[in-house]
Structure 1
Amino acid sequence: MMLFSRRKLAQVNSLQEQLQIQETLAAQGIASSAGAGSTARAMERRARLGGAAERDVFYTVYVHKNDYDRAVYLLEALRRGR
């Protein structure tokens, strides 16, 4: 997916939630991509503690801008439990 043709759909702290979102989108024929990130402060804290806390990592899900409205609808339905 080209950088300028995608929009950020969601940013979550759980890999499981990110995968659930992407599976829901794929089931409806919407292509998505994802990336993981961390704040500099979180990286420093992990280095000091010698581990990686999941809450310090965030996962961002992107969709094509033409699919964005439909993806938002599906994400809201997923969060409502439908």
Structure 2
Amino acid sequence: MTAQPTLAEVRAWPATIPVAKAATALGCSRAQLYRLIRAGVSPVRTLSLGQERVVVITASLVRVLSGEEEFLPDDERLSA
């Protein structure tokens, strides 16, 4: 398993990252993060690029890791 990156390292990442890389930062498996994304309850915001590619928005990951953003399922984000 890859070592969990520091917040400073995550801040230096590109604007979007693969789900596997975000999962490592969150301390969960890639499969678990994909399940959360499909269920609409992911702690980080994502972008769907076509039918099969999903990337994580790094700024959202930084906010979650730093405690700046409370987790809201996608449907609650839209109504907030």
Which structure carries more relative contact order (alpha carbon 8 Å, separation 6+)?
1
Structure having the larger proportion of residues in strand: 1
User: Does the pair score TM above 0.5?
Assistant: no
TM-score, scaled relative to structure 2 = 0.29
TM-score, scaled relative to structure 1 = 0.29
Larger Rg: 1
